Structure 1
Amino acid sequence: MMHQEEVSSSAYEASPAEVQSVILDWVKATEAFHHRYANLTEVINKMQANARRHPAQSKTRLRKLIMLRQHMSDVLMTLLLDMTGEKSGRSAQPSKPGQLRSHACLLDELNREIDTELTQVITVAQA
């Protein structure tokens, strides 16, 4: 007689309140990210216009901001692909709360980096 063992799942199941909290954190981080992306684009456009009038303006700063904006675009595309499950031929799976939390943390980190860069640009422009 064969004895079948029950396989118990040790996976953690998040409560609806925890899932809602994670989703709200992700939404806030995403909205802040988009807002900063728009601000960064506006600053870059102004700097490019000023660079035409004043070629001596710091092109290094402008290049750094453009690279940061490209990095932001790359991160956002990666996160979107991760959310849809389309990379590496995976079938679409709903995102897990831990995945959303890590996305929110990454976006928050980038938001801080963008804030630092924008603050430096504004400080230099005011001087």
Structure 2
Amino acid sequence: MNQEESAVFSSYEASAEEIQKVIMEWARATEAFHGRYAKLNQVINSLQVAARRNPKFNRTRLRQLIDLREHMSDVLMTLLLDMSGQKSGRSAQPSKPGQLHSHASLLDELNRKIDAELISFTTVAQA
């Protein structure tokens, strides 16, 4: 790639509509993520109660859900640090639309994984 092509790529600026769309996508994914996190906490709490009441309770499923919750917390903290610009000594800078879009995509992917876990839990609980 020559300098002229590089200048074209670096001078692109997203329109206000594009930025608004990305921000709304990020906000929707973040809100859904928080809702699923709360639901996952409820499921974990009820499994912990069941485990205390029944000494023969299989704790494998509980451990998987706790691991998923820890992963969710790690992802959220990483995204928050990334948004604040405090990672690896960078000075604070506003997030770019591409960064928000990739965050929203990551959260959507995690939301699908959480949904699958919660659906399998409710299916097992109903059986």
TM-score (norm 2): 0.92
Q: How is 1:44-83 mapped onto 2 (pairs within 5 angstroms)?
A: 44-83=44-83
Q: Which runs of 5+ in 2 are unaligned?
A: none
Q: Percent identity?
A: 69
Larger Rg: 1
Secondary structure in structure 1 of the residue aligned to 2:7: coil
Deviations 1:82-118 (A, max 9, x none): 0000011110010000000000000000000000000
1: CA distance between counterparts of 2:89 and 2:29?
28
TM-score (norm 1): 0.92
Secondary structure in structure 2 of the residue aligned to 1:48: helix
Q: Counterpart in 1 of 2:101?
A: 101
Root-mean-square deviation (Å):
1.3
Q: Counterpart in 1 of 2:35?
A: 35
Q: Report the structure, 1 or 2, having the larger helix content.
A: 2
1:69 Cα offset (Å): 0.1
Q: Counterpart in 1 of 2:91?
A: 91
2: CA distance between counterparts of 1:56 and 1:106?
37
Q: Which segment drifts farther, 26-35 or 50-59?
A: 50-59
Q: Which runs of 5+ in 1 are unaligned?
A: 1-5
2: CA distance between counterparts of 1:55 and 1:102?
44
Q: How is 1:6-45 mapped onto 2 (pairs within 5 angstroms)?
A: 9-10=7-8, 11=10, 12-45=12-45
1:110 and 2:100 aligned: no
**Number of residue pairs the alignment of both structures matches:** 121
Deviations 1:36-91 (A, max 9, x none): 00000010000000111122222110000000000000000000000000011110
Matched to 1:32, the amino acid is A
1: CA distance between counterparts of 2:55 and 2:28?
38
